[in-house]
Amino acid sequence: HDGQGEHAQHERSAFVQHDGRWYFIDPSVPLRTGRNDPCPCGSDQKFKKCCAAYL
């Protein structure tokens, strides 16, 4: 992680930067996580208001 933007591993995992921290977003998460569900990164925001906005 070097802060240069979005990174992806070979398996196309996604990372998002949120409040200055990087979070790993499993590619399967968006399939399970509704946009109105709590964000899997652990914030108290809804997914659509949080990491989904960065993907």
Residues interacting with Zn ion, by CB under 5 A?
Answer: 39, 41, 43, 50-51
Q: Given the complex with Zn ion, which of 8 and 37 has the nearer CB atom?
A: 37
Residue whose tokens read 């996604």: 14
Q: Given the complex with Zn ion, which of 29 and 41 has the nearer CB atom?
A: 41
Question: Could you tell me the smallest distance in angstroms from the CB atom of residue 39 to Zn ion?
Answer: 3
Residue whose tokens read 């990164």: 41
CA distances from 24 to 11, 18, 46, 48 (A): 12, 11, 17, 16
Q: Given the complex with Zn ion, which of 1 and 10 has the nearer CB atom?
A: 1
